Amino acid sequence: MAGRDDLIDRYLQAIESELGWLGTPRPVDTLFFGGGTPTQLPPDHLARLIATARHWFPLADGSS
């Protein structure tokens, strides 16, 4: 995605759409963001990605 900022919104929309197939949020103990894509996102788009992840993958009770 480096050099293709024009695709950021479509990328985030695709993630949101795919996670919507879960139907309901799924609590997790750990959520790892790996690879280089998140570090290439501007702060507002990274915040959107994190908010989406937190919605669909909230921390399970007792997780920190």
Question: How far apart are the C-alpha atoms of 39 and 62, rounded to whole Å?
Answer: 28
Q: For residue range 36-60, what is the model confidence (pLDDT) as tens digits?
A: 767 788 899 999 999 999 999 998 8
- DSSP 3-state assignment of 33? coil
CB 58, CB 25: distance < 8 Å: yes
pTM for the whole thing? 0.80
Given a contact cutoff of 8 angstroms between Cβ atoms, the answer to whether 26 and 57 are in contact is yes
Q: How far apart are CA 30 and CA 37, in angstroms?
A: 19
- Domain ranges, ordered by start, for the chain: 5-56
d(CA 4, CA 47): 19
Question: SS3 of 60, please?
Answer: coil
Q: 57 vs 31, which has greater pLDDT?
A: 57
